[in-house]
Amino acid sequence: MRSEATSSSSWLGRIPPTATSAPSGGSGKCRHFIFFSSSCCKTTNTISCGFNGPTTHSSSSSPSTRSYCRRWYNPLRRKPFDEPSPDVLRHWIDADPNPISSQERFSVVSYNILGDKNAFKHRDLYQNVRYEYMKWNRRKRLICQELIGLNPDIICMQEVDRYFDILNVMEKAGYAGCYKRRTGDNVDGCAMFWKADKFRLLEQTSIEFKEFGLRENVAQLSAFEMRNTKSRRVLVGNIHVLYNPNRGEVKLGQICFLSSRAQIVAEKWGNIPVVLAGDFNITPQSAIYKFLSSSELNIKSYDRRDLSGQRSCHLVQVFKVKKEIINPFAVMDRLLPNGWTDEEVKVATGNAQCYLAVHPLKLNSSYASVKGSPRTRGINGEPLATSYHSKFFGTVDYLWYTKGLVPTRVLDTLPVDILRRTGGLPCKKLGSDHLALVSEFAFAEAINECNDYMSTSSEKIAMH
């Protein structure tokens, strides 16, 4: 839209040669957890998001289970309050084959927790949700209990506008944290937490996309070193990509810039592996998803308004996106067949004369890499739904990783029939309109070292 025109200078030429340093800061057989109140109790199969602890008083057809592009199911046609709340059980799924056991593993969570202000600013998205389920104190309790029960090593949150409320809880659980608020009049941002006794923070840098003509969104990059083995390092990125379904060029530009900056920081610390977490506001069948997994995209082949896949999956534009004013001179100025101007090309690729968007990371999706159930996964292995409210039911959240890491297991998402029975999120047992994504990773070098040791031992035994 013309009113949202980006700055005349390209973001491509503004990626610094070095990153800014910050001083160091403080069906499977694996173990599973079920958590109640603030405790973490072992069980054999599942994770439950049902809590028995007291409330804290602190400051038109149904969707297919096999396809992402499905006709819109309208939850407003039923009354969810007439049915009991379903059991919210999530299962760990091990990679097949599962890598040899190694102590050098770590788990990462990506979680859009639904900002308190957004929850009430866009109340039309939660018409099926009881008012009490929308209150921040209740949602904070559920979210923090869920995370403490999961016991992850690194947590990436999006849409955080009560950071210090969460920090107070997470610090007591042994986590350190950092926060980056969105620019402009926005009150929410991205937050990252990590276990202070397991990881040492080597560097933390934040990205304000507005500085590069890419709207008010922000991202975080944090380089960590494992305290018990200083040779094991990892870079974790956290992003909440622009929502607007029509602004595919901005989404693409934000992801390109984050990937390029991540590559710089990773090289600085010895070409360390990278994990990118976040709410990418794209669907698994979209062109931008293809771009993330293949590292390049010829934008000539796509309409910028369809890059995210949101419109083709019947996503209603819920945040009152302003309609683009059609200017006949602007129409004449569109030279590419799918309606791209030079300015939009520059926003997407960093160069008005280059229609090929590229990023330097070789990314894989952790959930797509670990086979799941047909009740929870779509045609390309991604979850069928990571978010559910009155105007959207689908997947927009991801955990990406690069060479040097291997996903060992993931916490599967909820089956779509269970999600539908909630009537919409948040619900009695879940504090956000998104599901938390959880992946456990092992360092590939550690696995190779174990394999070499096993092979050598076998050869020695055979010789005797």
- Token pair 């456990």: residue: 440
pLDDT of 72 > 70? The answer is no
Which of 93-97, 144-148, 291-295, 393-397 has the weakest average pLDDT? 93-97
List the beta bridge partners of residue 387. Answer: 394, 434
Q: Which one has a higher pLDDT value, 318 or 105? A: 105
- Asked whether residue 310 is assigned to any structural domain, the reply reads yes
- Asked whether residue 117 is assigned to any structural domain, the reply reads yes
The dihedral built from the CA positions of residue 119, 120, 123 and 126, taken in this order, carries a sign that is positive
Pull the structure tokens for residue 463.
């010789």
Kindly report, residue by residue over 239-278, the tens digit of the pLDDT: 999 999 999 999 999 999 999 999 999 999 999 999 999 9
How many domains does the chain contain in total? Answer: 1
- Asked whether residue 210 is assigned to any structural domain, the reply reads yes
What is the maximum alpha-carbon separation in the chain? 84
- Asked whether residue 423 is assigned to any structural domain, the reply reads yes
Between the alpha carbon of residue 188 and those of residues 101, 151, 159, the distances in Å are 39, 24, 5
pLDDT for 228? 94
Mean pLDDT across 51-66? 41
Q: How far apart are CA 410 and CA 432, in angstroms?
A: 20
pLDDT of 379 > 50? The answer is yes
Mean pLDDT across 214-227? 98
- Asked whether residue 335 is assigned to any structural domain, the reply reads no
pLDDT for 92? 98
Domain containing 144: what range? 77-326+354-463
- Asked whether residue 197 is assigned to any structural domain, the reply reads yes
Return all residues near 185 (Cβ < 8 A) that are at least 6 apart: none
- Asked whether residue 346 is assigned to any structural domain, the reply reads no
Which of 10-24, 49-63, 287-301 has the weakest average pLDDT? 49-63
| CATH number of the domain to which 377 belongs | 3.60.10.10
Q: How confident is the model at residue 339 (pLDDT cuts 50, 70, 90)?
A: confident
pLDDT of 208 > 70? The answer is yes
Kindly report, residue by residue over 280-337, the tens digit of the pLDDT: 999 999 999 999 999 999 999 999 999 999 987 643 333 334 444 444 444 444 445 5
Q: From the centroid of its chain, how far is CA 279?
A: 4
DSSP characters over 95-143 = -SSPPPP-S-EEEEEEEE---HHHHHHTGGGGTTS-HHHH-HHHHHHHH
pLDDT for 71? 44
- Asked whether residue 269 is assigned to any structural domain, the reply reads yes
